[in-house]
Amino acid sequence: MTLAEPLHRRIYADLERRILSGDWAPGQRIPFEHELTASYGCSRMTVNKAMSELAGRGLVTRRRRAGTFVAQPKAHAAVLAIPDLRAEVLERGQSYGYQLLERVERSATTPEEAELAAEGRLLELACLHSADGTPLALERRIIALAAAPEAAEVDFHIIPPGTWLLDAAPWTEAENRIAAVEADAHDARLLGLATGAACLRVERRTWRDRQGVTRVWQTFPGERYDLVARFSSVGDRR
């Protein structure tokens, strides 16, 4: 004799199928709990249990007094890799969007910038990346023209700087710093968030043969991006 599957698991499976099939799009509000209770003819506690499991898997986000919404798909990047955001978005089957917000060629203004510039000039860029029309990352970057002089002639309205650098100025050493931050008014407006919303900021520096190439700050909405690292052991572990 086989035991019947618990009702909350059947509700979970039904809702999961509608989310993963695309029947319910990211950002769409799903029926309220009292509506699901009526639809499935069960208690609110049963529906709540199914919803909690969906939230635990990251398939939905629950907003107090607003309801439950299909979560935005998260981009995944290796912590120790240098990701190409355009390639990541396209690999997930989403449409990639990019906008250059600012481009300034200038001299270094701080000791850290002077070290990167190596007596040359800097190219400062600000840009916005999106996936399926939803802001994914706000990027501010400085490039040392002494290390990558061709960057001064590149039309970064067309190609994202990170994509170009991976191909034109390959790195030999990199450093990542990752921090949880709150979006200020400027970043929140560009990312479509409320001021103070939780974000993930990745600061990255790269070198080529000990010469600094670039320094970048990328700010991601916390609910749309996560970082994943996979490690393997080398040698004998005792």
Q: Write out pLDDT tens, residues 47-88.
A: 988 888 888 777 888 877 788 888 876 655 544 566 788 888
Sign of CA dihedral 63, 69, 70, 73: negative
Q: Quote the distance between the C-alpha of residue 222 and its chain's center.
A: 8
Number of domains in the chain: 2
Residue that the structure tokens 């004998």 belong to: 236
**pTM (two decimals):** 0.64
Q: What is the predicted pLDDT for the residue at 74?
A: 62
Residue 124 within any structural domain of the chain: yes
Let me know whether 93 and 37 are in one domain.
no
Let me know whether 212 and 113 are in one domain.
yes
Let me know whether 160 and 60 are in one domain.
no
| Residue 20 belongs to domain spanning | 7-70
Tokens standing for 39?
A: 């639809």
Q: Which one has a higher pLDDT value, 238 or 122?
A: 122
Residue 135 within any structural domain of the chain: yes
Helix orientation angle between 7-20 and 44-56, rounded to the nearest 10 degrees: 50
User: In this structure, what is the dihedral angle of CA atoms 229, 175, 136, 122, given to the nearest 10 degrees?
Assistant: -160
CATH number for 106: 3.40.1410.10
Cα separation, 122 vs 73, whole angstroms = 35
Residue 52 burial (10 A CB sphere; 0-12, 13-18, 19+): middle
Q: Which one has a higher pLDDT value, 1 or 80?
A: 80
Let me know whether 47 and 90 are in one domain.
no
Distances from the Cα of 215 to the Cα of 54, 117, 139, 144, 212, angstroms = 38, 11, 11, 9, 8
pLDDT tens-digit profile of 228-238? Answer: 555 444 443 33
